[in-house]
């Protein structure tokens, strides 16, 4: 059975999360949401798997932070990548890390909700969980490299 786009859109509107609907040739529908505030996240129902809703968040590491990572010892960078992996795995999140030469440049965190388990409660909890995965990565980055300013950490 397919995901009910109207129901998902209504739930997102009730919580004032929708930023925009975008065209995606690989999706039945694809929304960009704000959670929290100005943090963009994706809500996607892929054409290839009509009974699943993907909640995702892609994050680019800033140029300033990439410079700090590049100038750090290889063993520090490798340990950092493993901390990110372990942390996201403990949260039971799916993720993809782009880290050429052990230097993190981008990370994508996702979680799937299948149609038979989709409720407003599960949707909102999943959005929060994916965001907390991103926040965890930001905190580990800041703790490892000392490159995070207090105003760079989004509020919930």
Report pLDDT digits (tens) over 112-148: 999 999 999 999 999 999 999 999 999 999 999 985 4
* Cα angle 14, 15, 19; round to 5: 100
Task: Report the distance separating Cα 120 and Cα 126, nearest Å.
Answer: 10
pLDDT at residue 151 above 80?
A: no
pLDDT tens for each residue of 44-58: 999 999 999 999 999
Asked if residue 88 has pLDDT above 60, the reply is yes
CATH of the domain at 104: 3.30.1460.10
Is beta strand 40-46 parallel, antiparallel or unpaired with respect to 27-34? antiparallel
**Entry pTM:** 0.90
Q: What is the distance, to the nearest Å, from the Cα of residue 80 to the centroid of all Cα atoms in its chain? A: 18
Strands (E), 15-140: 18-21, 27-34, 40-46, 52-60, 94-98, 106-114
What pLDDT, on a 0 to 100 scale, did the predictor assign at position 142?
93
Number of domains forming the structure of the chain: 1
- Domain coverage including residue 128: 5-152
């Amino acid at each position: 059975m397919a995901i009910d786009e109207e129901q998902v859109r209504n739930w997102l509107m009730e919580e004032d999360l929708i930023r925009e609907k975008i065209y995606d040739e690989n999706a039945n529908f694809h929304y960009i949401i704000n959670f929290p505030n100005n943090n963009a996240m994706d809500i996607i129902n892929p054409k290839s798997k009509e009974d699943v809703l993907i909640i995702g968040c892609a994050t680019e590491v800033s140029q300033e932070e990439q410079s700090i990572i590049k100038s750090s010892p290889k063993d520090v960078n490798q340990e950092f990548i493993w901390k990110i992996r372990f942390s996201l795995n403990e949260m039971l999140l799916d993720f993809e890390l782009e880290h050429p030469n052990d230097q993190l440049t981008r990370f994508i965190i996702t979680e799937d909700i299948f149609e038979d388990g989709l409720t407003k409660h599960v949707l909102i909890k999943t959005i929060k969980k994916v965001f907390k995965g991103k926040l965890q990565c930001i905190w580990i980055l800041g703790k490892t490299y000392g490159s995070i300013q207090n105003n760079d950490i989004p509020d919930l």
